[in-house]
Amino acid sequence: MIEIPFYRSSETRGLATPAEYVTAVREGYRQRGEGAPAEPRTALTNEDPPGLLTGYLAVLPETGAMGGYTYAAGFGDGDAHFVLPLYDSQSGQPLAVFDGAHLNPYKTGAAGAVGVDALAREDASTVGLFGSGTQARGQLRATATVRDLDRVAVYSPTPDHRETFAAEMNAELDATVAAVASPAAVLENADVVITATRSSEPLFDGDRLEPGTHVTAMGQYHPERRELDATAVARATYVPDLRARTEQDAGAYIQAREDGAIGDDHVHAELGEVVAGNAPGRTSDDDITVFDSGGTAIETVAAAHMLYETAVDRDDLGQTITFAPASEAMD
């Protein structure tokens, strides 16, 4: 029998800062850029009751960990439940199991920040943010660790939501965070544009992107849904988290290709290739860049292992559970 810890979200909360998440996730993408295995999510949908069962996997050999998420969303409970198994990449033995819900916006925000750091201008200081939910908070907190932000403009179609978000984040960050009343105001003078919404239709006209803008699009992973229009994709140096997603669930890319706005060779590189130095990122201050972040196990495994290393030596965290290896269980 193997004894491992099970960590609840309440126990992992506060174990790491946004900057520490970014450091771990950047290292994970560097390993991916040098050949670490990872695959896009597998998503199974159900009509009655409506729901989604999905998951994805990655191996980070240098970190010494592998695993990923499995989660269910919707169904009769109407909620989402995340289970995150973490394995040792050398022995294959389980290291830990997490109730992974808490770390989701932190690791996803960290992936967005790694994209900003790799692709945005060095002097980027203004952010235009679409969305005012948990994922938007995660993106903004992490982005603030890789660029010295002066101003953030946030738009959500519900005034109360964007105003509450602006007040909370204005108190938390050094930057001035202000709610704006239109999508056009989000784009005005924005060095970095972040889309963190549930919208299935483009949030803005890609012609309105100013030269030099970086865009992080992270709200959709469905072939028929997109936050960016074909023009935004066509104008940009386009970098996905995983190249295979462009054939599966990167809706903005898939629909731009179907519209004839781009060809099959429009992918510049995966994010990991840029982070590892195996492909260039931005080549001029006038480039428009897009990081299409659909969520991968790269950031999930990197973040979970970072939390595991912090928590494993503490007696007050985790509940011990046991696993029987197959040689014992299948007798």
Other Cβ atoms within 10 Å of 213 Cβ, number: 26
* Whether residue 263 is found in the same domain as residue 158: yes
Q: The domain that contains 267 carries what CATH number?
A: 3.40.50.720
Q: Stretch 153-169: mean pLDDT, rounded? A: 97
According to the model, what pLDDT value does residue 133 have?
94
Range list of H helices, the chain: 9-12, 18-33, 104-119, 134-143, 159-172, 183-187, 230-235, 251-258, 271-275, 297-311, 326-329
* Whether residue 184 is found in the same domain as residue 228: yes
Q: Stretch 219-246: mean pLDDT, rounded? A: 93
* Whether residue 130 is found in the same domain as residue 253: yes
- Inter-residue contact 154 to 162 (CB < 8 Å): yes
Domain that holds residue 209: 120-292
Q: Identify whether 149 is part of a domain.
A: yes
According to the model, what pLDDT value does residue 28 have?
98
* Whether residue 275 is found in the same domain as residue 312: no
Q: Identify whether 21 is part of a domain.
A: yes
According to the model, what pLDDT value does residue 224 have?
85
Q: What is the pTM of this model?
A: 0.95
* Whether residue 72 is found in the same domain as residue 133: no
According to the model, what pLDDT value does residue 313 have?
86
Q: Stretch 82-99: mean pLDDT, rounded? A: 96
Q: Which of 84-88, 142-146, 248-252 shows the lowest per-residue confidence on average (mean pLDDT)? A: 248-252
Q: The domain that contains 91 carries what CATH number?
A: 3.30.1780.10
According to the model, what pLDDT value does residue 221 have?
80
Q: Identify whether 25 is part of a domain.
A: yes
* Whether residue 177 is found in the same domain as residue 203: yes
Q: If DSSP codes are grouped into helix, strand and coil, which group holds residue 9?
A: helix
According to the model, what pLDDT value does residue 222 have?
84
| Burial status of residue 320 (CB atoms within 10 A of its CB: 0-12, 13-18, 19 or more) | exposed
Chain centre distance of CA 281 = 18
Q: Identify whether 115 is part of a domain.
A: no
* Whether residue 143 is found in the same domain as residue 237: yes
Q: Identify whether 280 is part of a domain.
A: yes
Q: Stretch 142-165: mean pLDDT, rounded? A: 97
List pLDDT tens digits, range 10-40: 999 989 999 999 999 999 999 999 999 999 9
Q: Identify whether 8 is part of a domain.
A: yes
Q: Stretch 305-318: mean pLDDT, rounded? A: 93
Q: Given pLDDT bands bounded at 50, 70 and 90, which one contains residue 67?
A: very high
Q: Identify whether 114 is part of a domain.
A: no
According to the model, what pLDDT value does residue 206 have?
96
- Inter-residue contact 58 to 68 (CB < 8 Å): yes
Q: How many domains does the chain have?
A: 2
* Whether residue 27 is found in the same domain as residue 152: no
The HSE-up count of residue 110 (CA atoms within 13 Å, CB side) is 28
- Inter-residue contact 86 to 24 (CB < 8 Å): no
* Whether residue 160 is found in the same domain as residue 131: yes
List pLDDT tens digits, range 191-225: 999 999 988 899 999 999 999 999 999 878 888 88
* Whether residue 279 is found in the same domain as residue 216: yes
